[in-house]
Amino acid sequence: MSEYLNDFASLFDQYDVLGAFWVNIRLTFFAAIGSMLLGSLVALMRISPIASLRLAGTGYVNLFRNTPLTIILVFLVLGVWSQLGINLSEDFARNFFLYAVVGLSLYHAAFVCEAIRSGVNTVPVGQAEAARAIGLSFLPAARLIVFPQALRGAITPLGNTLIALTKNTTVAAAASVTEISALMKTMIEFRPDVIIAVFLTVALGFVLLVVPVGLLTTWASRKLAVKR
Amino acid sequence: MRSSKPLGVAAMAAAAALTLTACGGGDSGGEGGGESTAGGSGESVRIGIKYDQPGLGYRDGDEYTGFDVDVAEYVAGELGYSEDQIEWVESPSANRENMLANDQVDMIFATYSITDARKETVDFAGPYFVAGQDLLVREDDSSIQGPEDLEGKNLCSVTGSTSAQKVKDDHPGANLVEQPGYADCLTALESGQVDAVTTDDIILAGLASTDANQGKFKVVGNTFSEERYGVGLPKGSDRCQAVNDAITKMIEEGAWEEAVTENTEGADYEYNRELNPPTPEPCA
């Protein structure tokens, strides 16, 4: 048993496990920002009074929500990078990191959009009508009256999206990003003697990453929800 | 409205039950299939191969082709199994040790390099081939003659593979793209976004000799590692000696040479004659 533990400990000397998790955290951070911005924009389109924008927003959500994330990333790398030859960065490794951020953002923006839309549904119609009545046009009404309330009502679904995003960063291995699941493949290849411990380490790492997000969003959704 | 709730719950329960039974059914079906063949025509042997490596282990419908498959069939024949007693099982790299340890396969022929770390969990017979890490480049590219030319070049390999790790360790000046499979790498090589694909020479030869790729790529032929492909056996297996004898016989009979040539045809590939054909190591 102690020999197994020693073998297991040597894994951390041999491989940069924390560094790989750090890549996942950075992917989560940047993709969370990206998908939040894009998702808010699409949500705005979906609730806008202009029919063509609503249609485009609906199209976006249906396209990206129903396409597997792996396929989006493989398309970006094999299609956009490999075939079209588009580099997002001069730095070779950074290029793939950026592609992964773009892919994760595109995909999760669809879910962010739907989360925000569910938040918008918590805002009584009277609020929007009152905003229009005092002379605000669509965008100011959305920005000043509807969105602030909608976001506070959307904290729980947004938190779920963030949790899904955190776990989905493991798909970035398909885009040649050396994050934890890519490192896990390497460790399995070279250290099959501690394979179970490798799996448990990665699983535990994600539990440690994700549980706080869940607790935080539960707390925030209680604290910030608009009392009606 | 009121009745829809219990109905919904019942529907979900039913769906869950169905999913669960589907899982259970799948499992027992698989085992049952194995047992029935075993009972029907004497014993059968379950051999783990790759399904996605043309030239080595490749599944095309019901057909299994490649060098690993040919050696496996020969060895199984020597052990007393006819071809229809072989049950092919897909064994991806990450699952090989577990499949042997959990008795899901009897033997593995899947470009399985003999290493000390692996010997802790499984036994090896062989080697039946000594491959070496090499480079695959576009047919018209002569700028890369070996690993020393990789500085500043873009290189593709498979995530988590020995070859990828070796490039990272020994040639940090090369830009490495890690893809889920070698087919993805070939796409990038063909379009020019990477300059070379790296893995074991015989795998590269297999990839280059498929119908779709013939004439597009060439194996550089300057190997820079030694991968001794062994036959994976469960720890403590008593088959090692018999498998070694079969491999030796296959080499002596010339069937080995024939299998290598046939499976790498059209790739302009020469195996390393200093190391091949190999002499199997004595069984522990």
Give domain status of residue B283, yes or no: no
If asked whether residues B87 and B138 sit together in one domain, one would say: no
pLDDT at B40: 41
Collapsing DSSP to helix, strand or coil, B280 comes out as: coil
Tell me the CB-side half-sphere exposure of residue A37, using CA atoms within 13 A.
Answer: 8
- Mean pLDDT computed over every residue of chain A: 92
Structural domain range at position A167: 19-179
pLDDT at B132: 93
- B-facing residues of A in 205-224 (CB < 8 A) are none
- pLDDT above 70 coverage of chain A, percent: 100
Give domain status of residue B1, yes or no: no
Give domain status of residue A131, yes or no: yes
Residues 6+ apart with CB under 8 A from B68: B49, B50, B53, B56, B57, B109, B110, B111, B229
pLDDT at A14: 86
Q: Is B178 within 8 Å of A182 when comparing Cβ atoms?
A: yes
For the segment B265-283, what is each residue's pLDDT rounded down to a tens digit? Answer: 877 788 888 898 999 999 8
Q: Residue B239 in contact with residue B125, Cβ under 8 Å? A: yes
The stretch B156-167 carries a mean pLDDT of 90
Residue B25 has pLDDT above 50, yes or no: no
- A-facing residues of B in 111-140 (CB < 8 A) are 115, 117-118, 120-121
CA separation for the pair B159, B199 (Å, rounded): 11
If asked whether residues B182 and B244 sit together in one domain, one would say: no
Mutate to test the interface with B, among A99, A185, A190, A196 (most CBs of B within 10 A): A185
Classify residue A77 by its DSSP letter: I
Residue B6 has pLDDT above 70, yes or no: no
Residue A7 has pLDDT above 90, yes or no: no
Strand B122-131 vs strand B227-234: parallel, antiparallel, or unpaired?
antiparallel
Whether A45 contacts chain B with CB within 8 A: no
If asked whether residues B112 and B246 sit together in one domain, one would say: yes
Q: Residue A202 in contact with residue B160, Cβ under 8 Å? A: no
CA separation for the pair A197, A46 (Å, rounded): 46
Residue A117 has pLDDT above 80, yes or no: yes
Give domain status of residue A210, yes or no: no
Q: Domain holding B49: CATH number?
A: 3.40.190.10
Residues 6+ apart with CB under 8 A from A72: A64, A103, A106, A107
pLDDT at B16: 52
If asked whether residues B232 and B139 sit together in one domain, one would say: no
If asked whether residues B112 and B17 sit together in one domain, one would say: yes
Give domain status of residue B281, yes or no: no
Q: Residue B146 in contact with residue B135, Cβ under 8 Å? A: yes
If asked whether residues B22 and B126 sit together in one domain, one would say: yes
Residue A207 has pLDDT above 90, yes or no: yes
For the segment B77-136, what is each residue's pLDDT rounded down to a tens digit? Answer: 999 999 999 999 999 888 899 999 999 999 999 999 999 989 988 999 989 999 999 999
CA separation for the pair B9, B14 (Å, rounded): 9
If asked whether residues B93 and B234 sit together in one domain, one would say: yes
Task: Locate A56 and state its tokens.
Answer: 């485009």
CA separation for the pair A15, A186 (Å, rounded): 9
What is the crossing angle of helices A195-224 and A2-14, to 10°? Answer: 70
- Domain count along chain B: 2
> What is the DSSP annotation of A4-28?
HHHHHHHHHHHS-HHHHHHHHHHHH
Interface size between A and B, measured as CB pairs under 8 A: 70
Nearest to B205 by CA among B182, B224, B184: B182
Give domain status of residue A195, yes or no: no
- H-helix or E-strand containing B146? none
Give domain status of residue B250, yes or no: yes
If asked whether residues B58 and B119 sit together in one domain, one would say: yes
Residues of A in contact with B124 (CB under 8 A): none
- A75-79, A186-190, B36-40, B132-136: least confidently modelled range: B36-40
CA separation for the pair B22, A151 (Å, rounded): 41
- Among chain A residues, the shortest Cα distance to B178 is held by A176
Task: Please identify which residue in the block is written with the tokens 């040639």.
Answer: B171
C-alpha torsion A29→A32→A33→A35, nearest 10 = 150
Q: Exposure string (b/e) for B99-108, b if CB count within 10 Å is 16 or more? A: bbeeebbbbb
Residue A191 has pLDDT above 90, yes or no: no
pLDDT at B243: 96
- Domain count along chain A: 1
If asked whether residues B151 and B99 sit together in one domain, one would say: no
pLDDT at B39: 38
If asked whether residues B232 and B101 sit together in one domain, one would say: yes
Structural domain range at position B24: 7-130+228-264
Give domain status of residue A205, yes or no: no
Nearest to A198 by CA among A70, A25, A15: A15
Q: Residue A183 in contact with residue A14, Cβ under 8 Å? A: no
CA separation for the pair A53, A46 (Å, rounded): 7
CA separation for the pair A207, B145 (Å, rounded): 47
Residue A43 has pLDDT above 50, yes or no: yes
Q: Is A92 within 8 Å of B175 when comparing Cβ atoms?
A: yes
What is the crossing angle of helices B67-78 and B240-253, to 10°? Answer: 110
What confidence tier does B9 reach under pLDDT thresholds 50, 70, 90?
low
Give domain status of residue B21, yes or no: yes
Task: Locate B190 and state its tokens.
Answer: 């063909």
If asked whether residues B182 and B239 sit together in one domain, one would say: no
Give domain status of residue B269, yes or no: no
pLDDT at B160: 86
Q: Which of A77, A93, A185 sits opposite B159 (nearest CB)?
A: A185
Give domain status of residue A216, yes or no: no
What is the crossing angle of helices B255-263 and B240-253, to 10°? Answer: 80
Give domain status of residue B15, yes or no: yes
The last residue of one of the domains, among B196, B219, B242, is B219
pLDDT at B35: 39
Residue B34 has pLDDT above 70, yes or no: no
Classify residue A142 by its DSSP letter: I
Q: Domain holding A26: CATH number?
A: 1.10.3720.10
pLDDT at A125: 92
CA–CA min distance A137, chain B (Å)? 40
First and final CA of chain B: distance in angstroms? 72
Residue B72 has pLDDT above 90, yes or no: yes
The stretch A117-123 carries a mean pLDDT of 93
CA separation for the pair A142, A45 (Å, rounded): 11
If asked whether residues B25 and B94 sit together in one domain, one would say: yes
CA separation for the pair B108, B97 (Å, rounded): 9
Global pTM value? 0.81
Q: Exposure string (b/e) for A164-200, b if CB count within 10 Å is 16 or more? A: ebbebbbbbbbbbbbbbbbbbbbbbbbbbbbbebbee
pLDDT at A93: 85
